[in-house]
Amino acid sequence: MENKLINSATVRALCGGISDMSLWRWLHNPEMAFPKPRVIARRRYWIEAEILAWIDAQAEKGAA
């Protein structure tokens, strides 16, 4: 399912167990180009495929 929504706890776990503050910093740093969440009932959700693609892009940058 390519449009699966995941919550912030899952996003933080996928990104290596980062803190909520690190996630906030990534969201507010334009250079990071971190995917923006969708807000549903005042809660943030991300599309899982976008997060996984961002993680892959970061891995490629690190290998270059």
Quick: pLDDT tens for 2-40. Answer: 789 999 999 999 999 999 999 999 999 999 999 999 999
Q: Which helix or strand (DSSP H or E) is residue 5 part of? A: strand 5-7
pTM: 0.90
Number of domains in the chain: 1
Least confident of 4-8, 21-25, 54-58, 60-64: 60-64
Residue 60: φ, ψ to 5° = -65, -40
Average pLDDT over residues 48-61: 94
Q: Show the domain range for 25.
A: 5-63
Average pLDDT over residues 30-56: 97
Give the ranges where the chain is alpha helix by DSSP (H): 8-14, 20-27, 48-63
